[in-house]
A and B are shown apart, each in its own frame.
Chain A
């Protein structure tokens, strides 16, 4: 691999790669506003200027400048090397690039920073970007000067509604055009553009249009400053109070990598931010995914319930035991959920295999929905591939309804409350069951029809593995503490097994994962307790 040096660090690059991208892959950040690894390089913010030593045998490009000489008390002509934007210069073998070590580059950065801040309002107290704003960061890094312009800054429109989800503030905008290029190149809907010139420059929406579509939130997330804000997050939180967990979006089978930002003081999730993963979502996420963080708090099952009445976990387990004990195995269906993590499903499969020897596994989850060619997958479940890996012969939920109506199935143990379809036929079929034990994080037809329901944690409250449509096993980290009486699904399965007289061979997530890796064909992680005296 050819290499070049940046400030003395040797950086390998692939032919055709720009300096900034090669450095970024090495974890070296050359300051920039308009460059984004997933977008084209317009080189219009001039923040990434670097000094490049001339190629051997060539003269350096020089620039004639006048410099104030206090000794002469006059301007003095001087030559400076001409700087070049790192986001457009393709790296070449043996190139010597200087950034922080070059006085000229430091001066240029400071100049660019000052230029961008000339008319920038110091809106930080009412700006949602404060705390993660490139202008703030770079001012501390490369600026640290007092403002020299004594005039009133140019005023431009504020709080302009670009659409149902995005608010634009022209004053804060630094004209990096990232949002314009994102809509153009990634979302393939060139609805944004620029108008006016100089310090009246602003981004606007095509006449007669609004900023709508499935990728509007991304414009806010590529914005390096606070010009674009989402209605959803606007004024909701200050980012320096938020903590971040590496999570996986639960919106569809694509399984986009995301940061889940939550406030540990209130145990509340505030937003998703896309997390870079070249193999899955590159740098993007869709709108539906961005707002799906709300499912951590809405439609949740928070208490154990027996026949609709709130109960303790102990009581619920006793009820489950009385429902399931002595039922012949062929009448019991085990429903795995594509909404729940691999660990929960694995635990239920193990219990079912030991307890029932049953092979009647069915799948549940949400149904199909909108899909496109960019990110959004038609399957709205994060873990469909995962449950299919666990039980390849999985039958559909529709099949389960048919079997209940045919009278083959009388008892059901299910994970997850959601069903692909929620119609009267489903409800009637579920009402016919003699026993329905559900371990669910979210409400749904199954959870409503359940005779006994145990509250499981959602993806935000416990670590779990999800297998996306490409078959990648991705771990979503725990963010907030469990809400209500919720406990991890695999733990509830173990408790249910204990109530029925089976001891799980595992008590910790680590042990679950260690056993899960083997994915044995014969369930072996539950043992029958010698005395069949079950202790819930």
Chain B
């Protein structure tokens, strides 16, 4: 006769503890005092919330989680401000002439754990001061659906060319195509302060401070 083997009962988890049994007392056995206690708590909240609603008082949304009072906000009309370091949608920062600061070094797409950044690097056209010195991104595509908003691309960027300081969270769209952010869209986005540049200065070819000033005795 074949004996069926049953799986072993799993061991009890280590964090299990015995709940203390509360002995009933006459005060709890008659119910009414406890019911009034509970109602008291409910009414306290009811009156405070009503007072705050009538006065239009709102707790500070930043500290609301640790303060007393109503914690509900009417979402689309009222929004909680995001913290200063919130990583929102990406933007490409601009130089003074509006071109991207990006030099297509591919550090961000290399660092990206979700592999959502695609860059096609290209040479600046003939006659450009940066030709032969830098590259620029012909295509710069971020798939925001794949992005996990880890900020590694911003960490990796040696030129401060990609940032996540737009303060916008991912927007709901109705097609996948709309989540593919391309260069012009990324360049059009501004930081939370409304600027398209960054606070970090850049030396451009031709500046006095720019590397590569030609010596007066240079012959080639």
Contact = CB atoms under 8 A, between A and B. Distances in A.
Contacts of B107: 125
Interface string B192-220: 00000000000000000111111100111
Contact of A167 (B106, B132, B135, B219): B132
B135 A157 contact: no
Interface string B116-155: 0000010100000000111100000000000000000000
A109 B107 CA distance: 28
A159 B135 contact: no
Contacts of B215: 157
Interface string A55-79: 0000000000000000000000000
A124 B158 contact: yes
A536 to B, nearest CB: 43
B218 A126 contact: no
B158 A157 contact: no
Contacts of B209: 152, 155
Contacts of B158: 122, 124-125
A126 B110 contact: no
Contacts of A204: 220
Contacts of B133: 126, 158-159
Interface size class of B (residues with CB under 8 A): 20 to 34
B212 A157 contact: yes
A125 B105 contact: yes
Interface in A155-213: 155-161, 167, 171, 204-205, 207
B80 to A, nearest CB: 37
B70 interface: no
B189 interface: no
A235 B110 contact: no
Given A126-B133, A126-B135, A238 B110 contact: yes
A122 B103 CA distance: 13
A205 B220 contact: yes
Contacts of A155: 209-213
B114 interface: no
A159 B132 contact: yes
B135 A121 contact: no
Contacts of A156: 211-212
B159 A240 contact: no
B220 A160 contact: yes
A159 B131 CA distance: 9
A205 B218 CA distance: 11
Contacts of B210: 155
Contacts of A152: 209
A130 B107 CA distance: 11
Contacts of A160: 220
B212 A235 contact: no
B52 to A, nearest CB: 52
A476 B132 CA distance: 34
A158 B106 contact: no
Contact of A158 (B110, B121, B135, B211): B211
Contacts of B110: 238, 240-241
A238 B105 contact: yes
A147 to B, nearest CB: 15
A238 B120 CA distance: 12
Contacts of A207: 219
Contacts of B135: 126, 235
A155 B215 CA distance: 10
- Chain B CB within 10 Å — which of A125, A160, A167 has the most? A125
A234 B212 CA distance: 18
A261 to B, nearest CB: 16
Contacts of A158: 133, 211-212
B103 A126 contact: yes
B130 to A, nearest CB: 9
A159 B105 contact: no
A125 B214 CA distance: 22
B103 A159 contact: no
A157 B214 contact: yes
B106 A159 contact: no
A235 B106 contact: no
B101 to A, nearest CB: 10
Contacts of A161: 220
B102 to A, nearest CB: 9
Nearest to B105: A125
B106 A238 contact: yes
B44 to A, nearest CB: 57
Contacts of B106: 238, 241
Contacts of B132: 159, 167, 234
Contacts of B211: 121, 155-156, 158, 171
Contacts of B219: 207
Given A171-B212, A241-B106, 9 more contacts: A124-B105, A124-B158, A126-B135, A152-B209, A155-B213, A157-B212, A157-B218, A160-B220, A238-B110
Interface of B: 103, 105-107, 110, 121, 123, 132-135, 158-159, 209-215, 218-220
24 contacts: A124-B105, A124-B158, A125-B107, A125-B158, A125-B159, A126-B103, A126-B105, A152-B209, A155-B209, A155-B211, A155-B212, A156-B211, A156-B212, A157-B213, A158-B212, A159-B132, A159-B133, A160-B220, A204-B220, A207-B219, A234-B132, A235-B123, A238-B106, A241-B110
**Closest A-B pairs by Cβ, 6 of them:** A125-B105, A158-B212, A125-B158, A159-B132, A235-B135, A155-B211
